[in-house]
């Protein structure tokens, strides 16, 4: 006997938002890449000097320190944390080499430069480890801990220098070697850019193809599930902040090498807000568990191109801040729209 129906047709499969248009989904997913391409085209249009080899190399050199700090910031943000102390930690590390060489007299020792470099990087490691211990072991809020560490490191920087500038003597061989790092090149590529590229490649494989990187991301995505699996998530949080501090130490070395001096005023450099913005533009979530090395690289260069073209067009400093703010909001808005479309 035929089953009676009320004449209604079976419901058709409704397409979910974001489905059916692969191109749109790709554009939403890689909106930072699209933004970088647009900024690149605008830069080429507004200034004929933008594509000059000197300007492009200058952009790479300028961003080498921001890139290193951004890689550490990405690692922290993947765990769901944040590090507001990076600018001050970079400053302390940048002070230590000139301080050790000149004030401690290590510039006259054959091993003095190496010891000074180790001490500088160790200072970054120490501040990062203290952040990691307080946040991971004592369960203190990352925002409060790193904010406090920012002030602590800034105070250390001014105490060490006594608010004065320490100038290195460029006639001393050890100082010449140290400063030479910022001026030396291989095949036309500055040493600091080569170091940046190496660390980006290392972090790409570390974060995307190792258990450590996957567990860093998992900790930020669902820390409770990680703990239920018998994995010590606190260890990964600790090492995330330690890595961030260590990379700040390396960035400090580059800054000191460029200037051949040490000053506590480096604490006023906006490494913290700039790198957080770059990581967010690259698609990382402030809640953790989402982000990638290659997109963070894109985020860093989005801000770099914006800043460079505004300098080439002689736009004032304060309007630049407004423009950067608008770009950041646009990037976050696109990220929010793409997330909703994929749900």
pLDDT digits over 275-309, tens only? Answer: 999 999 898 988 899 999 999 999 999 999 988 98
Q: Is residue 182 included in any domain, yes or no?
A: yes
Q: Is residue 289 included in any domain, yes or no?
A: no
When computed from its CA atoms, the radius of gyration of the chain, rounded to whole angstroms, is: 23
Sign of the alpha-carbon torsion through 139, 143, 149, 155: negative
Q: Give how many domains the chain has, as a whole number.
A: 1
Q: Is residue 56 included in any domain, yes or no?
A: yes
Sign of the alpha-carbon torsion through 201, 31, 86, 320: positive
Torsion angle of C-alpha atoms 183, 187, 191, 192, degrees rounded to 10: 100
Residue burial 217-240, b: 16+ Cβ < 10 Å; e: rest = bbbbbebeebeeeebebbebbbbb
Q: Of 51-60, 157-166, 215-224, 332-341, which gets the smallest average pLDDT?
A: 332-341
Domain that holds residue 150: 51-267
Q: Is residue 62 included in any domain, yes or no?
A: yes
Residue 186 phi, psi (nearest 5):
-125, 115
Task: For residue 30, give the DSSP letter.
Answer: T
Cα separation of 335 and 209, whole Å?
A: 24
Q: How many CB atoms lie within 10 A of CB 304?
A: 20
Q: Is residue 27 included in any domain, yes or no?
A: no
Cα separation of 80 and 76, whole Å?
A: 7
The reported pTM is 0.89
- CA-CA distances (angstroms) from residue 302 to 50, 57, 279? 14, 16, 11
Q: Is residue 246 included in any domain, yes or no?
A: yes
Q: Can you give the pLDDT at residue 133?
A: 97
**What mean pLDDT do residues 106-116 have?**
90
Q: Is residue 325 included in any domain, yes or no?
A: no
Q: Is residue 81 included in any domain, yes or no?
A: yes
């Amino acid at each position: 006997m035929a089953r009676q129906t009320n004449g209604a047709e079976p419901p058709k499969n409704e397409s979910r938002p974001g489905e059916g248009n692969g191109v749109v989904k790709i554009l939403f997913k890689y909106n930072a890449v699209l933004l970088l391409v647009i900024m690149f085209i605008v830069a080429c249009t507004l200034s004929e000097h933008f594509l000059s080899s000197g300007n492009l190399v200058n952009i790479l050199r300028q961003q080498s320190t921001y890139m290193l700090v951004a890689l550490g910031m990405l690692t922290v943000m993947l765990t769901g944390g944040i590090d507001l102390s990076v600018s001050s930690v970079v400053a302390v590390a940048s002070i230590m080499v000139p301080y050790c060489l000149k004030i401690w007299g290590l510039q006259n020792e054959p091993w003095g430069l190496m010891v000074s470099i180790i001490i500088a990087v160790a200072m970054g490691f120490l501040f990062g480890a203290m952040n990691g211990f307080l946040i991971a072991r004592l369960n203190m809020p990352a925002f409060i801990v790193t904010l406090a560490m920012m002030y602590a490191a800034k105070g250390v920087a001014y105490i060490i220098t006594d608010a004065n500038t320490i100038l290195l003597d460029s006639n001393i061989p050890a100082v010449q070697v140290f400063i030479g790092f910022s001026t030396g090149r291989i095949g036309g590529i500055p040493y600091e850019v080569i170091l940046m590229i190496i660390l980006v490649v290392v972090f790409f494989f570390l974060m995307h193809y190792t258990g450590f990187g996957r567990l860093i991301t998992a900790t930020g995505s669902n820390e409770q599930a990680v703990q239920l699996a018998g994995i010590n998530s606190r260890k990964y949080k600790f090492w995330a902040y330690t890595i961030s501090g260590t990379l700040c130490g390396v960035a400090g070395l580059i800054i000191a090498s460029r200037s051949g001096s040490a000053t506590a005023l480096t604490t006023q450099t906006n490494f913290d807000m700039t790198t957080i913005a770059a990581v967010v533009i690259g698609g990382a979530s402030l809640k953790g568990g989402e982000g990638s090395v290659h997109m963070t690289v894109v985020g860093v260069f989005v801000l770099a191109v914006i800043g460079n073209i505004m300098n080439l067009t002689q736009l004032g400093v304060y309007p630049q801040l407004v423009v950067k703010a608008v770009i950041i909001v646009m990037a976050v808005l696109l990220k929010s729209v793409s997330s909703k479309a994929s749900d």
